[in-house]
Structure 1
Amino acid sequence: MSALDHAALHQLYSENNGWLKGWLRARLGNAADASDLAHDTFLRVMTARSELPIREPRSYLSAIARSLLIDKVRRRTIEQAYLQALALRPEPVEVSPEIRLSIIEMLVSIDALLDELGTRTRDIFLAVQLEGLTYAAVAERYGVSVTTVKNHLIRAMTRCLLVIES
């Protein structure tokens, strides 16, 4: 980072950090989480390839923070669903914090991956994987051929494997 970029980043932080924390606190109702997300927002700015100084800094910062907030809520929702699924198991399951974190990170990655798939591909993948429907039943449900179902599943499974390998 050049000295000019460093100075511009310092100015951006000095002029907007307090505002951003307040903006986030109003949405989160929690000063600690607001500080964490403001910090993450400025880290994102530092690693972005954007030109400094930024013309509309508050708009830019709030867009980044909003995206991080959505990610945080999505992650929390996934984590709660995972914990509820564990609690519903007939036998207690002991999972180390490290394994639990790894599982949650994988679930978040798969959730993001499914979000990137087209609606039809995602729906077909979930119908087979979560509902246990046969290819023929899925084909009938969506009015497509079994070959089309297979093609959608290949696309989804390939993406899942890429996430697992990374």
Structure 2
Amino acid sequence: MGFFDGIDHVWLWLILGAVMLTAELIAPGYFLIWLGLAAFATALVAGVADVDFAIQVLTFAVFSGFSVLAARHWLTLYPIESSDPLMNDRGGRLVGESVVVSRAIEGGSGRVRHGDSEWIARGDDAPAGTRLVVTGHDGVVLLVGPPDTSHIAGSPTNSPPALP
């Protein structure tokens, strides 16, 4: 007599499916949901057809593989778009922001301050206290340059053309 002989296998698969779906809610990764659905499908098969437990495990494995591959294909065609794609990209969020040189940029390297954070920076030489703009980032190193003055009236790039 095996361990699972006294247990109704339908309930076993339903409980496993519920545990998988609950685990997906607690630690979302968009993976356990498919295993939970495969367990529910296996419960349906176990309830409709009187099959051996080994066949049920094989059915669960097939349903799991199929559902994971189908979900992967679906998500390739219709990826989930983030409402804030730069959420976990702190350097990317700073592009266009104004920073102040806290340690002179000499030889292309120095430090800049943005808010209460200090960052390693690369750019043209600039003395401490100079206001620069973040133009990009390379990992945790900010790429900085002079502020864009084209929007300021009277700047060389925004001046009216000279009269002949």
Q: Normalised by the size of structure 2, how large is the TM-score? A: 0.30
Which structure has the highest strand share of the two? 2
Which structure has the highest helix share of the two? 1
Larger Rg, first or second structure (1 or 2): 2
